[in-house]
């Protein structure tokens, strides 16, 4: 029963990830690797404010409040 519940949570989490736009997905994956906003901006050749906007959108869509919370998504 616990296994089934955990499986359903993973499916739910994956569905949340599908809500992310392409650029948000890129930012999300870079966050998961431990990159800072400044590093992400440099790598994607965008302004830091753009990265911050993507991060806020990601947090809202996934219902999370911190970079640490992104680690639960695989």
pTM here is 0.78
| Interval 37-52: pLDDT, tens | 999 999 999 999 999 9
Q: Which domains does the chain show, CATH number per domain?
A: 2-72 (1.10.10.10)
Angle at CA of residue 50, ends 73 and 15, nearest 5° = 25
Q: Is 27 exposed, middle or buried (0-12, 13-18, 19+ CB in 10 A)?
A: buried
The answer to whether residue 74 scores a pLDDT higher than 70 is no
């Amino acid at each position: 029963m616990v296994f089934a519940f955990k499986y359903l949570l993973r499916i739910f989490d994956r569905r949340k990830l599908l809500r992310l736009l392409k650029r948000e997905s890129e930012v999300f994956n870079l966050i998961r690797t431990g990159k800072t906003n400044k590093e992400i901006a440099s790598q994607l050749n965008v302004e830091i404010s753009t990265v911050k906007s993507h991060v806020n959108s990601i947090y809202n869509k996934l219902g999370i409040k911190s970079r640490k919370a992104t680690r639960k998504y695989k």
